[in-house]
Amino acid sequence: MKLLYVDDEEINLSNFAITFRDDFEVFTALSGAAALDCFAANREIAIVIADHRMEAMSGVELLEKIYEQAPDTIRIILTAYIDSDDIIDAINRGRVFRYILKPWKVPDLRLTLEQAKAQYLLVEQNKLLLRELAAANAALEKNRAELEDRVQERTAALATSNAALSVEIEERRQIEREREELIADLKEALTKVKVLSGMLPICASCKKIRDDQGYWNHIEAYIEQNSNALFSHGICPDCAGRLYPDLMLKDKEE
């Protein structure tokens, strides 16, 4: 993890770098301005430790600027003075994580830095989880929207299919009604139609026909009773010549 140590005394920078070089990748700066340049070039710096009393720019002012640029950076103030106003100012303006007295003791400072490291990792993990949650929510929303679109498309297709099916059912019902009406008409017609079929017993001489009850009927009477046929009477030429020979002879002479 990268750490930036800021102090206007170069010996303090050297001592710190030597002490914690195995624990962190240590960057150092002799002023607030140099610290800002270093931080701008290495934005992945996780911890910034600044001496409170420096020329041109105090540690609190520096940490305030760092906070504006990267609020998740862990900020620590070093000071040789105990002043409640300074502490309050550092907390309010620089949002410091710890306030450490100089000269610092290696075990105490190492413990503070380990706590700062854990705090930074926790914040980064929370940010990662939030990003993953946002991505999952976005994917879920996309899937929900796609599902709604498919449901709407399917519903529209079903509505169209149902409408077509309703039309087809109504057409089939109409055809069935017409069929039933046709069957009824045919049945009614058949009740009015009488058909002669089979073997009819007929007299070879007078041509009378014997019915099922054994009565002999004139052929025209029998046909009228057993069919829808009607007769109109006339005389054929052969019978006319036989019955009225004189009339037929006169017609031939004329």
Question: For the ranges 18-32, 141-155, 209-223, which has the lowest average pLDDT?
Answer: 209-223
* Residue-by-residue DSSP string for 96-125: -SEEEESSPPHHHHHHHHHHHHHHHHHHHH
pLDDT band at 101 (very low <50, low <70, confident <90, very high): confident
Q: Contacts for 115-118 with beta carbons within 8 Å, 24 or more apart? A: 116/46, 116/47, 116/74, 116/76, 117/1, 117/46, 117/47, 117/74
**Tokens at residue 191, please?**
């009740």
The pLDDT assigned to 117 comes to 93
Q: Where are the domains of the chain?
A: 2-126, 209-253
Give the confidence band of 186 by pLDDT, cuts at 50, 70, 90. confident
Cα–Cα distance for residue pair 194/230, rounded to 1 Å: 12
Q: What is the mean pLDDT of the chain?
A: 84
Residue 16, pLDDT above cutoff 90: yes
Please report the pLDDT score of residue 233 as a whole number: 73
The CATH number of 2-126 is 3.40.50.2300
pLDDT for res 41: 94
- What is the gyration radius of the CA atoms in the chain, in angstroms? 60
- Residue with the bigger pLDDT between 249 and 45: it is 45
For tokens 């169209």, name the residue.
160
Q: 168: buried, middle or exposed (CB in 10 Å: 19+, 13-18, 0-12)?
A: exposed
pLDDT level of residue 15 (50, 70, 90 thresholds): very high
**Whether pLDDT at 30 is above 90:** yes
Please give the angle made by the CA atoms of 125, 126 and 131, to the nearest 5 degrees. Answer: 95
Banded model confidence at residue 192, pLDDT cuts 50, 70, 90: low
pLDDT tens across 35-54, in order?
A: 999 999 998 999 999 998 88
pLDDT of 22 over the 90 cut: yes
Which residue carries 């140590």 as its tokens? 5
pLDDT at 191 over 90: no
Question: Per DSSP, which regions of the chain are E strands?
Answer: 2-6, 25-29, 47-51, 74-79, 98-101, 209-210, 216-217
Is the confidence at residue 247, as pLDDT, over 70? no
| pLDDT at position 224 over 90 | no
Nearest CA to 202 out of 188, 216, 191, 214 is that of: 216
Angular region, 95: left φ>0, alpha ψ -120 to 50, beta rest: left
Report pLDDT for 193. 57
